[in-house]
Homo-oligomer: A and B are copies of this chain.
């Protein structure tokens, strides 16, 4: 068989492990030809691709990023090009396409599938917010990076009697904040799923200081926002070039707490370090399994599906089911976290 692979969307540790696994399984076990499209769907639409043999994927298991490159998808352009893509896939003699990506990528995969392209998706997001799968690869690495940062910040906060506000990724779902906050021993966690009141954080910090604990660490997802009326937030500022720039919630919250508490509070914005670098062992294993099962699905003709972790098993679930709603943090997971603040 001739199988096309592409990686699209934001960077995510484990992408190379999926690519390597697909190539090993398809080439070594089935004698397939594997083709890698460059820079995501852009490479598919422009017909830019290259053959991926065992040598091409040698030594990439532990490497962050993607050897195929990636690009964010402009949905409008893609919708227009969808029929074209089908024609392209047929003309080039591809028997199957495996797009590896997040919500946008999988939605596009579904459109291709609906248009008749034989597609098996592999979900990818550090945010862990894709329905139908227990976890996504990349998430464990992101949580690990954020946790290590909090481990480091706690010692410095403690020595200097300071409040630290750590902003982690998560625009629409708070999984990274939840798990890194629990693992890093944060004393407060703010998620997109639940507007927070800075007054509660002020109370928590003051209660800690009254018990002789002279520091606090608060973990806040970039998409968290204050409850209405609880804090002035979200008005853009004008920067030196005349652009309106919005201050991130981590920075805004640190200033707000400093003002209300009369104590030093500092923001730390972790940013893109959470997306890059060597994946953890967990993510390499999950990514490798996803690649393996995607090839199996191709050979069983189970198109229109994506790989998903369910308990300890990797199963195929319909793309349609996976992309209809975001997987957000449920209340009971938040309650578990709160008791160790």
Contact = CB atoms under 8 A, between A and B. Distances in A.
Interface stretch (A75-83, A105-113, A237-245): A237-245
A209 interface: no
Contacts of A160: 10-11, 70-71
Interface in A293-337: 293, 310-312, 336
A180 B282 CA distance: 9
A32 interface: no
Interface of A: 7, 10-11, 13, 15, 20-21, 24-25, 28-29, 54, 58, 61-66, 69-71, 134-135, 140, 143-149, 151-161, 164, 179-180, 182-185, 211, 213-214, 232-233, 235, 237-241, 243, 247, 252, 255, 259, 266-269, 271-273, 275-278, 280-282, 284-285, 288-289, 292-293, 310-312, 336, 339-341
A38 to B, nearest CB: 11
A134 B239 contact: no
Contacts of A140: 281-282
B281 A179 contact: yes
A69 B161 contact: yes
B151 A285 contact: no
A144 B161 CA distance: 25
Name the 6 nearest CB pairs between A and B, nearest first: A152-B277, A64-B155, A156-B276, A65-B155, A183-B281, A152-B276
Nearest to A313: B332
19 contacts: A11-B156, A21-B339, A25-B339, A29-B339, A58-B213, A69-B159, A144-B282, A152-B273, A152-B275, A182-B288, A183-B281, A184-B281, A237-B238, A238-B238, A239-B247, A239-B255, A266-B271, A280-B280, A280-B282
Given A64-B152, A272-B164, A239 B237 contact: yes
Given A153-B273, A179-B281, 20 more contacts: A7-B159, A24-B339, A25-B339, A62-B151, A64-B155, A66-B159, A70-B159, A144-B281, A146-B281, A148-B277, A157-B276, A180-B281, A183-B288, A233-B240, A238-B238, A240-B252, A241-B259, A280-B280, A282-B282, A292-B336
B61 A276 contact: no
A273 B152 CA distance: 6
Contacts of A64: 152, 155-156, 159
Contacts of A70: 159-160
Given A25-B339, A154-B276, A276-B155, A241 B255 contact: yes
